[in-house]
Amino acid sequence: MHYIRFCRPPEVQAGRSQATVKVVLTITTDLSDAFLSPRNPIQLAVVGAYTLHKDGKDQLVPVNLTQNSPPTWRAGMRVLKLDLPLPPQPIETIQIRPLNRQLTAMATSDVLPGNQGLIMAVYADMPRPGDGRAPSVCFRSLRFSAGDVAAGQTLQIEEDLGESIARHIWDSGIVLVSLLEDICLGGTGGTAGKRLPLLRNLLQVQAQDRALNILELGCGVGVMGIGLARVLALRQGKEMPRILMTDLPEAEEKARANIARQAASLGESSAHLDFEALDWEEGKNGAFGSQASSRAWDLVALCDCTYNTDTLPPLVKTLSALHSHSATLEQRVKTEVLVATKLRHSSERTFFDLMSAEGWFVREDTVLPLPHLDSEGQEVEVYLFGRQE
pLDDT tens, the chain, 389 aa long: 899 999 988 988 887 788 889 999 999 998 888 899 998 999 999 999 999 888 888 888 999 999 788 999 999 999 999 999 999 888 899 999 999 998 999 998 888 877 666 899 999 988 765 555 666 789 999 999 876 655 568 999 999 886 666 688 999 999 999 999 988 887 544 455 578 999 998 987 654 557 899 999 999 999 999 999 999 988 766 788 999 999 999 999 999 999 999 988 888 888 899 999 999 999 999 999 999 999 999 999 999 999 999 999 999 999 999 999 999 998 888 999 999 999 888 899 999 999 999 999 999 999 998 877 766 678 999 999 999 87
Domain boundaries, the chain: 2-160, 171-387
Give the pLDDT confidence score for residue 383 in this predicted structure. 97
Give the pLDDT confidence score for residue 270 in this predicted structure. 87
Nearest to 328 by CA among 371, 301, 273, 288: 288
Rounded to whole angstroms, the Cα distance separating 118 from 122 reads 13
Give the pLDDT confidence score for residue 134 in this predicted structure. 63
What is the CATH number assigned to the segment(s) 171-387?
A: 3.40.50.150
Backbone φ, ψ for residue 285 (5° rounding): -100, 10
**Pairs from 55-62 (Cβ < 8 Å, separation ≥ 24):** 61/89
